């Protein structure tokens, strides 16, 4: 079994040009595992804290004063690494070492172990379960916290190639409609510069209604059938819209606001109007009741908690008491360690929630989440749409398919 012999960490930069931490873990003096921590722009209130005192360097200093605790540890065991990290930092939000460092340590360990054992990471994590490819949920038009002024308030309009026979076809379909959408946007706004948000989605100067209408038209113009070839989804990231002081969802760029009942009606009307198969955070992170009502009224749609669940097993248990979600975003860095994210995925399965493994808006070119998505039997993977750090995850799914680890696409219906 691979044992940790050396650890190193450093400051590197993410896709937004912000500092983050990267960890190298070497097992058996030979096998280098490496992981770089991603970071969010629309961050859930209950997520692990990224860095101690917001200082990436501080995370490195804390780790350096505890390096010896990792030497000799079993790198293939996420629980063993979790326990060492908890021994250094027992706070629930990783205030001492930072969630980013917890992420990088726990992923670098299994990365190294998979190399030592000569097997893909997905294989190491999957516990002999069958491996299917998650559907790529492409963010093809966006705004909110991921893009600048003038763009839609809605954070992400998503496309899912539900009719694709394999991952290659799925990716081709998403890229095709992304290109088609650019043409529509150029026609709509002569000053459109092909600007894109953090995840590669077009970031045009259009309001929410126009954005959805053009997204739908791009699918139809591409010759695809909505509902059988491709389907639409939305990440409202509604905690970013919510103003707790006046208890309203503020669509500032559209210069209007909605109270909770109006927000629920708005969400329901969009699900019906656009046959959405997926919605994420349609209400703010604490409103389990409204989320439950939306879930009840839209049983064919995957009603997903991101900021609401923050990859936290206890939040899933709480949300399930209300019947609040039918889908759950899995972002390892929200939890901190891989072990906690795996516990979360097991709880989601027990509660019959579909898992959607996700990147963050600030990313690296790492592709570990593709393996995690496959190993956790995720139905979908959110990885933006274009840009090196986004496509890195999608290309890894092609490789896993070529190596025979993936056998077909996930079943979205079960």
User: Catalytic amino acids?
Assistant: 199, 331
Site for ligand PEP in 65-124 (CB under 6 A): none
Q: Does 360 bind ligand PEP (CB under 6 A)?
A: yes
CB of 237 to Mg ion, least distance (A): 5
Query: For 190-193, which contacts have Cβ atoms below 8 Å and span 24 or more sequence positions?
Result: none
Among the listed ranges 10-18, 38-46, 51-59, 367-375, the one in contact with ligand PEP (CB under 6 A) is 38-46
Under the binding rule (CB under 6 A), the answer on residue 41 touching ligand PEP is yes
32 binds, among ligand PEP, Mg ion, none (CB under 5 to 8 A by kind): none
Residue 358 engages ligand PEP in binding (rule: CB under 6 A): yes
Q: What are the Cα distances from residue 9, in Å, to 19, 27, 33, 62?
A: 13, 15, 12, 11
- 358 contacts which partner out of ligand PEP, Mg ion, none, CB within 5 to 8 A by kind? ligand PEP
- The footprint of ligand PEP on this chain (CB under 6 A) covers a number of residues equal to 11
Stretch that binds ligand PEP, among 13-21, 223-231, 244-252, 358-366 (CB under 6 A): 358-366
Closest to ligand PEP by CB, 139 vs 320, is 139
Q: Which of Mg ion, ligand PEP, none binds 40 (CB below 5-8 Å, type-dependent)?
A: ligand PEP
358: Cβ contacts below 8 Å, ≥ 6 apart: 306, 329, 330, 331, 369, 381, 382, 383
Q: Binding to ligand PEP by residue 237, rule CB under 6 A?
A: yes
Q: Binding to Mg ion (CB under 5 A): which residues in 214-273? A: 235
360 binds, among ligand PEP, Mg ion, none (CB under 5 to 8 A by kind): ligand PEP
Residue with smallest beta-carbon separation from ligand PEP: 40
Which of 22, 235, 285, 389 forms a contact with ligand PEP (CB under 6 A)?
A: 235
* Candidates 21-29, 220-228, 261-269, 278-286; binding stretch for Mg ion (CB under 5 A): 278-286
Judged by CB, which is closer to ligand PEP: 40, or 204?
Answer: 40
Minimum Å distance from CB 18 to ligand PEP? 12
According to CB under 6 A, which one of 361, 367, 377, 378 is a site residue for ligand PEP? Answer: 361
Q: How far is the CB of 43 from ligand PEP (least distance, A)?
A: 6
Contact region for ligand PEP (CB under 6 A) — 41-49, 60-68, 257-265, 400-408?
41-49
| Interface residue with Mg ion, options 47, 287, 306, 389 (CB under 5 A) | 306
34 or 390: CB nearest ligand PEP: 390
Q: How far is the CB of 191 from ligand PEP (least distance, A)?
A: 27
**Interacting stretch for ligand PEP, rule CB under 6 A, among 35-43, 246-254, 290-298, 318-326?**
35-43
HEC string for the chain: CCEEEEEEEEEEECCCCCEEEEEEEEECCCEEEEEECCECCCCCCCCCCCCHHHCHHHHHHHHHCCHHHHCCCECCCHHHHHHHHHHHCCCCCCCCCCHHHHHHHHHHHHHHHHHHHCCCHHHHHCCCCCCCECEEEEEEEECHHHCCCCCCCCCEEEEECCCCCCHHHHHHHHHHHHHHHHHHHHHHCCCCCCCECCCCCECCCCCHHHHHHHHHHHHHHCCCCECCCEEEEEECCHHHCEECCCCEEEEHHHCEEECHHHHHHHHHHHHHHHCCCEEECCCCCCCHHHHHHHHHHCCCCEEEECCCCCCCHHHHHHHHHHCCCCEEEECHHHHCCHHHHHHHHHHHHHCCCEEEEECCCECCCCCHHHHHHHHCCCCEEECCCCCHHHHHHHHHHHHHHHCCCCCCECCCCC
User: Under rule CB under 6 A, which residues in 118-157 are in contact with ligand PEP?
Assistant: 145
Q: Comparing C-alpha atoms, which of 258, 334, 276 is closest to residue 44?
A: 334
The site for ligand PEP (CB under 6 A) is made up of: 40-43, 145, 235, 237, 306, 358, 360-361
């Amino acid at each position: 079994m691979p044992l940790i012999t050396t650890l190193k960490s450093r400051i590197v930069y993410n896709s937004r040009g912000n500092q983050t931490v990267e960890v190298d873990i070497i097992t058996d003096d030979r096998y280098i595992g490496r992981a770089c921590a991603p970071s969010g722009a629309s961050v859930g209130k209950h997520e692990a804290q990224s860095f101690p005192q917001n200082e990436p360097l501080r995370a490195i200093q804390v780790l350096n004063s505890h390096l010896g605790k990792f030497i000799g540890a079993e790198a293939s065991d996420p629980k063993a690494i979790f326990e060492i990290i908890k021994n250094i930092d027992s706070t629930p939000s990783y205030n001492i070492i930072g969630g980013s460092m917890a992420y990088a340590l726990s992923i670098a360990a299994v990365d190294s172990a998979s190399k030592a054992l000569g097997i893909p990471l997905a294989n190491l994590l999957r516990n002999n379960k069958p491996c299917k490819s998650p559907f790529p949920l492409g963010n093809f038009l966006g705004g909110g916290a991921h893009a600048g002024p003038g763009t839609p308030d809605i954070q992400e309009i998503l496309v899912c190639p539900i009719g694709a026979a394999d991952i290659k076809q799925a990716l081709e379909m998403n890229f095709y409609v992304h290109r088609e959408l650019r043409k529509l946007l150029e026609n709509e706004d002569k000053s459109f510069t092909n600007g894109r948000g953090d995840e590669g989605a077009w970031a045009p100067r259009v309001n929410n209604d126009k954005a959805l209408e053009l997204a739908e038209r791009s699918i139809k113009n591409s010759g695809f059938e909505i509902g059988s070839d491709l389907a639409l989804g939305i990440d409202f990231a509604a905690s970013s819209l919510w103003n707790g002081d006046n208890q309203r969802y503020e669509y500032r760029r559209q210069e209007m606001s909605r109270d909770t009942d109006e927000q629920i009606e708005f969400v329901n009307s969009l699900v019906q109007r656009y046959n959405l198969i997926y919605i994420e955070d349609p209400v703010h992170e604490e409103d389990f009741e409204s989320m439950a009502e939306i879930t009840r009224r839209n049983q064919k749609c995957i009603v997903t908690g991101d900021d609401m669940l923050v990859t936290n097993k206890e939040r899933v248990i709480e949300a399930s008491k209300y019947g609040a979600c039918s889908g759950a975003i899995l972002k390892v860095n929200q939890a901190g360690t891989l072990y906690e994210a795996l516990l979360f995925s097991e709880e989601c399965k027990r509660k019959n929630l579909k898992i959607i493994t996700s990147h963050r808006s600030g990313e690296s070119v790492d592709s570990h989440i593709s393996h995690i998505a496959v190993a956790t039997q995720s139905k979908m993977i959110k990885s933006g749409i274009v840009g090196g750090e986004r496509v890195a995850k999608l290309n890894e799914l092609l490789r896993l398919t070529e190596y025979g680890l993936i056998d077909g696409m996930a079943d979205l219906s079960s």
